[in-house]
Amino acid sequence: MIKFGPAGNSESFYAQGYKSTWQAPAWLREMGLNAYEYSFGRGVNLSDEGAEKVRTEAEKHGISVSAHAPYFINLANPDREKIENSFRYIVEGARAVKLLGGNRLVVHIGAQLKLEREQALKNCRENLREALKRLDDLGFMDIHICPETMGKKSQIGDLYETLAFCQMDERLIPCVDFAHLHALHGGALNAREDFARILDAMEKEIGMERARRMHVHFSTIEYTPAGEKQHRTFAEEKYGPRFEHLAPLLKERNYEPTIICECKGTMADDAQTMRKIWDELQ
């Protein structure tokens, strides 16, 4: 079943008087949503008790939970101490998402720094393999790492780089951020066929089964020649990409992704808009 939900809590959640994330699952269910992504972007600082409270409410209201690992991760970095920190952030994120009742952890793989691109990619491959081994050793074999497609030229993770990482292990599921890809290529996703090329590439590189179950980040976005500048909202009509172009393809190809909205401040509201677009196709 396809799933829709926000990344974190939107402005409307707080405007309606809610204060704590454990209250989000019931609120999301009332909106017709069924997913939620917990952000650990600035570090994993959720207590076990807090995670259990969110998990209980999510299970009660049928909300699928994923999580975003800390932004500090850079598996390309040749500095041993910083690589060890990246492994720690991944392990902490995996433990936290499991406590939340989820099994998908979105990860920014890295940045090129001053390295040659191929060297940076080689470092990422080796360190991603080591990260998976460490998760296995700690009993987190059931956690899916979701390498995210990135929106800046200086970052590691265009579409084909991300798919190549996912070829390393069946547990790796791509997090396709369509806004990032739109920004990375100077506003490339403007029509149905533009999105079709992405799905075609996924099916070819990692197979239909994982492509169908991809993790998705979706929003509109503002960009510069260097790539991503900032996420925007659906109401800002001059920004793309637009879910109307992707939704029919997901239906035709029988995809069942988890779609997380990252619009700026309106993520739950715009996730609801995507859900309505999807429902109208049924």
Compute the distance between CA of residue 198 and CA of residue 80 in angstroms, rounded to an integer: 35
Let me know: does 155 contact 112? Beta carbons within 8 Å.
yes
**Which of 101, 105, 175, 92 is CA-nearest to residue 134?**
92
Residue 141 burial by Cβ neighbours in a 10 Å radius (0-12, 13-18, 19+): exposed
pLDDT > 90 fraction of the chain, expressed in percent and rounded = 100
Residue 261 clears pLDDT 90, i.e. is over it: yes
Instruction: Report pLDDT for 4.
Output: 98
In this prediction, residues 66-87 reach a mean pLDDT of 97
In this prediction, residues 104-111 reach a mean pLDDT of 98
Distances (CA, A) of 238 to 28, 210, 232, 233, 268: 28, 33, 10, 10, 20
Compute the distance between CA of residue 75 and CA of residue 194 in angstroms, rounded to an integer: 30
Strand 110-111 with 227-232, pairing? unpaired
Residue 14 burial by Cβ neighbours in a 10 Å radius (0-12, 13-18, 19+): exposed
Compute the distance between CA of residue 189 and CA of residue 45 in angstroms, rounded to an integer: 36
Strand 227-232 with 220-224, pairing? antiparallel
Indicate which CATH number applies to the domain containing 186. Answer: 3.20.20.150
What is the residue whose two structure tokens read 């995210």?
148
H-helix segments, the chain? 11-15, 24-30, 48-61, 80-99, 117-137, 159-166, 178-184, 192-206, 208-212, 243-252, 267-281
Q: What is the pLDDT of residues 14-32, one digit of tens each?
A: 999 999 999 999 999 999 9
Instruction: Report pLDDT for 30.
Output: 98
Note down the domain range covering 64: 3-281
Residue 127 clears pLDDT 90, i.e. is over it: yes
> What is the tally of structural domains in the chain?
1
Q: What is the pLDDT of residues 211-231, one digit of tens each?
A: 999 999 999 999 999 999 999
Q: What is the pLDDT of residues 162-176, one digit of tens each?
A: 999 999 999 999 999
Instruction: Report pLDDT for 105.
Output: 98
**Residues facing residue 111 across a β-bridge:** 155
Residue 114 clears pLDDT 90, i.e. is over it: yes
pLDDT band at 282 (very low <50, low <70, confident <90, very high): confident
- Would the pTM count as exceeding 0.85? yes
In this prediction, residues 114-142 reach a mean pLDDT of 98
User: Residue 187 gets which letter from DSSP?
Assistant: S
Let me know: does 175 contact 149? Beta carbons within 8 Å.
yes
Residue 259 clears pLDDT 90, i.e. is over it: yes
